[in-house]
């Protein structure tokens, strides 16, 4: 049947143009996201700071979990922590005792110099990488520093610095080139770091000799692995980009399947008479199905190649946008990688064959005489499968929505999935819901003859109406549901956090070094810990809090007492985390700190369910002091006088400032996740309408022959397009309203007086754009079709 398929494609290429466009755009979307994701995989980089060190020793920076699945199947799951563990005392001395070894102890301490955040290091570490002295010399005293260029400071100038020990005034001893840093005399750096050693650089000996001395605990790094001991902000950004693009790819696959399957079903439905003629000529249902599948295979291969080629062009600008928005490192670009292109091609071809198979199966089951006799009015569009799956998808969306409030701000991915389930359910039921709703909208809003004809057309052309409404529903529904649900969650979490504060105000540090002396206030600091969840270590939010935290925060305690959070061996757990980890008051919680240090803590309290603390642990301030002795407070909840050198803000402003950057990134993430998919579905709307108008040439000619003027026909087409567009928007609004109602009900037991937040501007702009595209894509092709004399069109054989 492939030879017949090639002939039908040559003879009816215009009928397959819409299918080709949908497939090519879907392949382009998948190729773009695939190439960008693959480009985030780091191929490793040479060390910069430790370029001159032969061997670098650091503390352990991994959490390993051994999983026994039974039957002798044992494997180890490893997660990398944010900081390395403290090296054992005396490590540097033991390494220095090796014959021929040269040892440099390196420490890194965050400071702010003249308002610029830098890391302070001992001067000895300057020799670990190339540098050039531009003036002055090494620091000779505790109050002297060496700055790196570019800087407007010169030797002899004085600079103001905020450090973990408080405010300091330093004298510039010299200026050098090299990685950005500020160098102190070695004793001053050790005092500033509280004795903590971040890394030890060793030259003159082999890695094997180093391992023999230090044992199996610390990490021994050589070659490019030395870069693992250096801060790598690019790695964090690439991880963020990979996570974001993973969600984008998921949405891209959903949208591609949705649009391509709908386009194929509509294209095959327009050819029912042609396929019926084949049946009448002796073709079996199997041969009809093979013909349609052969056509889809040919179109899918050509469209997949074209879409993948377009993806290689679109991916670099998309990667540049990610870098410009802060989601990826500066200079990040998408590289040509074959595997993502092959995957995009394979997925697009699979989508084409799947969409065609569903439509071809139904076309092959139509009796020849029955198909030839039926009028243009669509009958029996709904099948038992559409009813069953439509109801199942809507039910699944309702169940999933009930889980969203308990996840707080981490539920964005779940909101997207929930929106997809609800939209799929409504789309499957669209042949039942869309035509009568469009007729009702026209009855209310559009009187007159043109309005009556338009209402009847959308009601009787069930397949055409449903196929046009579907991409509008996807476009507006995903955008509206996601924007509104995430905005509601963010607002609820921020308001809950602010309402929890009973302190009159908070003191915030002037720089990155934190507040060294909290005075009489209660110091707090944000961090993370790692908790075993099934077979891996999950990163969980943590907050270190000083004594008296229960007096400045209204904590919803379900059992135990927050007043017992003291010493270095206690913890307070959020309700959701305690439930998933199996912790209870009085029991033991095993976890890892952010520097990979394993600890066993006594659970002194478990909090009641809440949107902001459900997946959080509270740790005693003494535990932070033990593992990071010079780390300052991120915020101090004031109970009396203000803190010197810090600015004082009310609670609402603090949480607004703390979340502002995250909200900006979250908003841009939604734009990145939805943007390309929405552009695709917008083009799909126009594509479906152009296909629909192309198949209505004879209907328009009959209207002209019946006395209708071109203006009247175009008015009818325009009104029909507006009815379909408004119907799609209304259905999307119904999905969004249902999600928001369920979300608000779920937030009722977590937040006092939850409110719904709807960012109307982007939602209305997207809805208006869809309606405008629907109108233009209907009227323009109709106007072009009306240029042909109606007598000529009506005399053309089908």
* Tens digit of each residue's pLDDT (9 = 90 or more) over 203-224: 999 999 999 888 878 889 998 8
- The Cβ of residue 476 has, within 10 Å, a number of other Cβ atoms equal to 30
C-alpha to C-alpha distance for 529 and 220, rounded to whole angstroms = 24
C-alpha to C-alpha distance for 704 and 501, rounded to whole angstroms = 72
Q: Tell me the average pLDDT across 227-254.
A: 72
Q: Tell me the average pLDDT across 694-698.
A: 68
Q: What percent of the chain has pLDDT over 70?
A: 86
Instruction: State the chain's mean pLDDT as an integer.
Output: 82
- The whole-number pLDDT of residue 350 equals 86
Higher-pLDDT residue of 668, 47: 47
- The whole-number pLDDT of residue 183 equals 95
Q: Is the pLDDT of residue 711 over 80?
A: yes
Query: Which residue's structure tokens are 């509601």?
Result: 488
- The whole-number pLDDT of residue 409 equals 42
Q: Provide the 3-class DSSP secondary structure of residue 133.
A: strand
C-alpha to C-alpha distance for 767 and 477, rounded to whole angstroms = 9
Q: Tell me the average pLDDT across 737-752.
A: 77
Q: Is the pLDDT of residue 407 over 50?
A: yes
Q: Tell me the average pLDDT across 264-286.
A: 74
Q: Is the pLDDT of residue 723 over 50?
A: yes
Rounded-to-10 torsion of CA 126, 129, 133, 139: 0
Q: Tell me the average pLDDT across 250-272.
A: 71
- The whole-number pLDDT of residue 381 equals 62
Of the candidates 180, 163, 275, which has an alpha carbon nearest to the alpha carbon of residue 230? 180
Q: Tell me the average pLDDT across 89-102.
A: 90
- The whole-number pLDDT of residue 619 equals 95
Higher-pLDDT residue of 154, 642: 154
Entry pTM: 0.74
Q: Tell me the average pLDDT across 167-196.
A: 91
Half-sphere exposure of 415 (CA within 13 A, CB side): 31
Contact present, 275 and 289 (Cβ < 8 Å):
no
Between 209-218, 283-292, 316-325, 693-702, the lowest mean confidence (pLDDT) is in 693-702
Q: Is the pLDDT of residue 415 over 70?
A: no
13 DSSP assignment: G
- The whole-number pLDDT of residue 513 equals 76
Q: Is the pLDDT of residue 504 over 80?
A: yes
Q: Is the pLDDT of residue 742 over 80?
A: no
Of the candidates 268, 423, 475, 458, which has an alpha carbon nearest to the alpha carbon of residue 361? 268
Q: Tell me the average pLDDT across 122-139.
A: 92
Residues in the chain: 798
- The whole-number pLDDT of residue 673 equals 66
Residue 661: pLDDT band with limits 50, 70, 90: low
C-alpha to C-alpha distance for 633 and 98, rounded to whole angstroms = 40
Scanning 521-563, the segments in alpha helix (DSSP H) are: 549-552
Q: Is the pLDDT of residue 408 over 50?
A: no
- The whole-number pLDDT of residue 331 equals 77
Q: Is the pLDDT of residue 490 over 50?
A: yes
C-alpha to C-alpha distance for 477 and 730, rounded to whole angstroms = 9
- The whole-number pLDDT of residue 572 equals 96
Q: Is the pLDDT of residue 470 over 90?
A: no
- The whole-number pLDDT of residue 783 equals 84
Q: What is the pLDDT of residues 358-406, one digit of tens each?
A: 767 766 666 666 555 544 455 556 677 778 888 888 888 888 777 765 5
- The whole-number pLDDT of residue 148 equals 93
Residue 708: pLDDT band with limits 50, 70, 90: confident
Q: Tell me the average pLDDT across 408-437.
A: 74
> Between β-strands 522-533 and 536-545, what pairing exists: parallel, antiparallel or unpaired?
antiparallel
Q: What percent of the chain has pLDDT over 90?
A: 21
Paired strand residues for 736: none
Q: Is the pLDDT of residue 797 over 60?
A: no
Q: Is the pLDDT of residue 89 over 60?
A: yes
Contact present, 40 and 185 (Cβ < 8 Å):
no
Residue 236: pLDDT band with limits 50, 70, 90: low
Higher-pLDDT residue of 648, 242: 648
- The Cβ of residue 526 has, within 10 Å, a number of other Cβ atoms equal to 12
Between 294-298, 518-522, 592-596, 597-601, the lowest mean confidence (pLDDT) is in 294-298
Identify the burial level of 424 via C-beta atoms within 10 angstroms of its C-beta, where 0-12 means exposed, 13-18 middle and 19 or more buried: buried
């Amino acid at each position: 049947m492939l030879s017949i398929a090639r002939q039908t494609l040559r003879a009816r290429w215009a009928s397959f143009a819409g299918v080709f466009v949908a497939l090519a755009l879907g392949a382009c979307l998948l190729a773009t996201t695939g190439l960008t994701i693959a480009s985030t995989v780091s191929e490793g980089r040479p060390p910069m700071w430790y370029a001159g060190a032969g061997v670098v020793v650091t503390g352990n920076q991994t959490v390993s979990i051994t999983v026994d699945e039974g039957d002798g199947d044992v494997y180890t799951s490893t997660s990398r922590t944010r900081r390395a563990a403290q090296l054992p005392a005396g490590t540097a001395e033991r390494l220095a005792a090796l014959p021929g070894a040269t040892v440099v102890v390196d420490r890194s301490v965050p400071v702010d110099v003249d308002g610029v955040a830098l890391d302070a290091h001992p001067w000895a570490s300057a020799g670990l990488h190339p540098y050039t002295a531009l003036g002055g010399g090494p620091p000779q005293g505790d109050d002297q520093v060496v700055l790196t260029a570019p800087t407007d400071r010169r030797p002899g100038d004085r600079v103001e610095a905020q450090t973990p020990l408080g405010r300091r005034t330093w004298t510039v001893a010299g200026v050098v080139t090299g990685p950005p840093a500020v160098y102190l005399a070695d004793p001053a750096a050790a005092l500033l770091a509280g004795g903590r050693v971040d890394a030890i650089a060793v030259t003159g000996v082999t890695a094997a000799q180093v391992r023999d001395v230090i044992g199996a605990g610390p990490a021994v790094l050589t070659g490019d692995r030395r870069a693992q001991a250096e801060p790598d902000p690019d790695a964090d950004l690439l991880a963020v980009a990979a996570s974001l693009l993973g969600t984008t790819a998921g949405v891209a696959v959903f949208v591609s399947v949705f649009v391509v399957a709908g386009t194929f079903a509509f294209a095959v439905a327009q050819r029912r008479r042609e396929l019926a003629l084949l049946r009448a000529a002796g073709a079996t249902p199997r041969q009809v199905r093979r013909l349609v599948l052969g056509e889809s295979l040919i179109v899918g291969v050509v469209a997949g190649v074209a879409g993948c080629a377009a993806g290689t062009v679109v991916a670099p600008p998309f990667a540049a946008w990610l870098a410009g928005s802060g989601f990826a490192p500066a200079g990040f670009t998408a590289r040509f990688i074959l595997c993502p292109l092959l995957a995009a091609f394979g997925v697009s071809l699979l989508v084409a064959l799947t969409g065609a198979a569903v439509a071809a199966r139904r076309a092959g089951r139509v009796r020849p005489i029955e198909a030839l006799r039926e009028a243009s009015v669509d009958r029996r569009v709904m099948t038992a499968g559409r009813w069953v799956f439509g109801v199942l998808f809507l039910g699944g969306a309702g169940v999933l929505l009930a889980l969203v409030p308990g996840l707080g701000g981490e539920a964005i991915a779940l909101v997207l999935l929930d929106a997809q389930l609800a939209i799929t359910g409504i789309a499957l039921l669209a042949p039942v819901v869309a035509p009568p709703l469009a007729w009702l909208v026209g009855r209310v809003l559009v009187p007159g003859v043109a309005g009556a004809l338009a209402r009847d057309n959308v009601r009787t052309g069930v397949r055409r109406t449903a196929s046009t409404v579907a991409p509008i529903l996807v476009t507006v529904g995903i955008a509206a549901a996601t924007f509104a649900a995430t905005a509601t969650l963010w607002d609820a979490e921020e308001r809950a956090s602010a309402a929890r504060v009973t302190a009159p105000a908070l003191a915030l540090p002037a720089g990155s070094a934190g507040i060294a002396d909290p005075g009489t206030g209660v110091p707090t600091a944000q961090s993370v810990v790692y908790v075993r969840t099934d077979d891996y270590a999950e990163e969980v939010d943590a907050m270190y809090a000083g004594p008296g935290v229960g007096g400045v925060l209204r904590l919803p305690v379900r059992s135990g007492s927050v007043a017992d959070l003291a010493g270095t061996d206690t913890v307070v757990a959020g309700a959701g985390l305690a439930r998933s980890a199996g912790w209870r008051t009085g029991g033991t919680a095993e976890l890892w700190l952010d520097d990979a240090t394993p600890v066993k803590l006594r659970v002194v309290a478990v909090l009641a369910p809440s949107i902001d603390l459900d997946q959080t642990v509270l740790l005693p301030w003494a535990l932070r002091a033990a593992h990071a002795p010079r780390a300052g407070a991120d915020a101090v909840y004031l109970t009396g006088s203000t803190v010197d050198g810090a600015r004082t803000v009310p609670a609402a402003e603090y949480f607004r400032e703390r979340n502002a950057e995250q909200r900006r990134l979250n908003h841009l993430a939604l734009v990145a996740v939805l943007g390309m998919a929405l552009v695709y579905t917008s083009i799909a709307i126009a594509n479906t309408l152009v296909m629909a108008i192309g198949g209505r040439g004879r209907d328009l000619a009959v209207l002209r022959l019946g006395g209708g003027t071109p203006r009247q026909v175009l008015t009818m087409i325009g009104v029909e397009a507006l009815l379909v567009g408004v119907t799609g928007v209304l259905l999307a609004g119904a999905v969004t309203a249902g999600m928001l109602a369920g979300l608000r009900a779920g937030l009722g037991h977590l937040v006092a007086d939850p409110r719904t937040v709807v960012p109307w501007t982007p939602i209305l702009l997207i809805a208006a754009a869809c309606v405008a595209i629907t109108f233009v894509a209907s009227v323009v092709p109709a106007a072009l079709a009306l240029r042909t004399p109606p007598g000529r069109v009506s005399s053309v054989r089908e």
